[in-house]
Amino acid sequence: MIDDTDSKFLGAIDNSTLPIQSEARKQRMASKLFNVAVVGYGLSAKVFHIPLVLALPSDFKLYGIVQRSPKLDDDCSKDHPGIKSWRSVDDVYSDPDVDVVIITSIPETHFDMCKAALEAGKNVVCEKPFVPTSQEAGQLAEIAKKNGKQLAVYQNRRWDADFLTLRKIMADGALGDIAEFETHFDRHRPEPPADNWKAKEGPAHGAVYDLGTHLLDQVYRVFGNPEKVTAFVGNQRVGVKSGPPDSFTVLLQYGQMLVTAKAGVVSPEEEQLRYWVRGTKGSFRKCHLDVQEDQLKAGAKPGSAGFGEDPESHYGTLTKSTDGKLKRAVFPTVPPATYVEYYRLFGKALRSEGEVPVKAEEARDVLRIIEAALQSSREERSIRL
């Protein structure tokens, strides 16, 4: 593909020069640093995006941040000297030097911001939940294609070490044919929720959009779209009568296989179950979440010693059935690719060396599952996709 600059340069040169020009453009792109603008300066930006961008200095440059109301103890320009500090996202769209826009604002703003950024000629990474509806997700996928720009959704937990471990076990055939696949994100937080946007009614608010997006995206990554969805979505917290649902159980049917995706806030366990997968040849059971989020919140940097590595006390167990006998053993978590891999792949996509790490169309399919789950819970019936 030849961009506008290449077209003007070529002028009336005959087509025989196109392969040479194309190769020259590839070389330019290979050495290009992509200027990144981050919209928002909350937890998502500080913990899940900026550290990963800074970990890839040969691919990205932190160019600027949109922070509407800086404070003395919370000012992006002081934390990152030399960057541009904007008060309005409109300034990002109009800046010709911005190559990539990372959107970390609340879900109801995502569609308009993604659309405006794409139509302004920017590549986009959007935090999850992507947008409130699958229809909007499909529209953004088409807008990205029309404008020739890359659009990716930030489903970072595809690079959780425990998820990669489970995928390896399954790929090796250690479990045989899967009968039941359980994935959990349970916590014990029975007290009233904190007073923030997540505790308020709004488009794409609530546990099934927040934690559910992670769990269902991982399931979708492994098995694709289910045949049928049955769900229970509501509040587990006693006395809570308003606000978005804090818990859910979603059952997905794939032929004879059943997937359970579950997140609850009343789960007084020292070790919270993460995965329990059972098959004809064995089962895998693991507790504890991936450590990267806690490490990033504590200020650890990607690439530092021990980053993303699961402690031995968090390893799962693999039970195998051999000659009618069951034998259980600890199964070490695989070395982590870490969340940096997401942005490494995105950088390759910008250079036309591969696809974006998570496509808008994939996020659209996960939103369809969520919409079916909400319909199932509301109507007290199973929904066939």
20-154 matches 157-337+355-384 in fold: no
For residues 349 and 200, give the distance between their C-alpha atoms in angstroms, rounded to a whole number. 36
Q: Which tokens go with 182? A: 């359980």
User: Could you tell me if 352 and 313 are in contact, meaning their C-beta atoms sit under 8 angstroms apart?
Assistant: no
Res 242: pLDDT: 81
H or E element, residue 160: none
For residues 75 and 86, give the distance between their C-alpha atoms in angstroms, rounded to a whole number. 11
Helices 207-223/161-171 angle, 10° precision: 30
Confidence bin at 243 (pLDDT 50/70/90): confident
For residues 21 and 119, give the distance between their C-alpha atoms in angstroms, rounded to a whole number. 26
Res 23: pLDDT: 61
Give residue for tokens 């034998």: 327
User: Could you tell me if 211 and 185 are in contact, meaning their C-beta atoms sit under 8 angstroms apart?
Assistant: yes
Over its C-alpha atoms, the chain yields an Rg (Å, rounded) of 22
Mean model confidence pLDDT for the chain: 92
User: Could you tell me if 341 and 335 are in contact, meaning their C-beta atoms sit under 8 angstroms apart?
Assistant: no
Whether pLDDT at 1 is above 70: no
- DSSP summary character for residue 381: S
For residues 235 and 194, give the distance between their C-alpha atoms in angstroms, rounded to a whole number. 15
Terminal Cα distance for the chain, rounded: 37
Beta bridge pairs of residue 287: 273
Res 7: pLDDT: 37
Which whole number is the average pLDDT over 255-271?
97
Give residue for tokens 């200027």: 35
Which whole number is the average pLDDT over 148-165?
98
Whether pLDDT at 20 is above 90: no
Query: Which CATH architecture is the domain 157-337+355-384 placed in?
Result: 2-Layer Sandwich (3.30)
Q: What is the DSSP string of 275-300?
A: EEEEESSEEEEEES--SHHHHHHTTP
Burial class, 228, CB count within 10 angstroms (exposed 0-12 / middle 13-18 / buried 19+):
middle
In the chain, pLDDT over 70 holds for what percent of residues? 92
Whether pLDDT at 30 is above 70: no
Whether pLDDT at 15 is above 80: no
What are the Cα distances from residue 119, in Å, to 108, 144, 165, 347?
19, 8, 39, 20
Res 53: pLDDT: 98
Confidence bin at 12 (pLDDT 50/70/90): very low
User: Could you tell me if 155 and 231 are in contact, meaning their C-beta atoms sit under 8 angstroms apart?
Assistant: no
Confidence bin at 192 (pLDDT 50/70/90): confident
Whether pLDDT at 11 is above 60: no
Residue 98 or residue 324, greater confidence: 98
Burial class, 83, CB count within 10 angstroms (exposed 0-12 / middle 13-18 / buried 19+):
middle
In the chain, pLDDT over 90 holds for what percent of residues? 86
Burial class, 366, CB count within 10 angstroms (exposed 0-12 / middle 13-18 / buried 19+):
buried
User: Could you tell me if 98 and 83 are in contact, meaning their C-beta atoms sit under 8 angstroms apart?
Assistant: no
Whether pLDDT at 83 is above 90: yes
Question: Count of CB atoms within 10 A of residue 212's CB?
Answer: 27
Which whole number is the average pLDDT over 135-147?
98
User: Could you tell me if 349 and 206 are in contact, meaning their C-beta atoms sit under 8 angstroms apart?
Assistant: no
For residues 370 and 133, give the distance between their C-alpha atoms in angstroms, rounded to a whole number. 9
Confidence bin at 119 (pLDDT 50/70/90): very high
What are the two backbone dihedrals, phi and then psi, of residue 35, each rounded to the nearest 5 degrees? -75, 125
- DSSP summary character for residue 177: S
The pTM score is 0.90
Domain map (residue ranges) of the chain = 20-154, 157-337+355-384
Res 28: pLDDT: 59
Amino acid present at 379? E
Put the strands of the sheet holding 100-103 in their side by side order.
Answer: 84-86, 60-66, 34-39, 100-103, 123-127, 151-154
Q: What is the CATH number of domain 20-154?
A: 3.40.50.720
Put the strands of the sheet holding 257-263 in their side by side order.
Answer: 325-331, 316-322, 282-287, 273-279, 178-184, 257-263, 247-254, 228-234, 383-384
Give residue for tokens 């530092």: 304
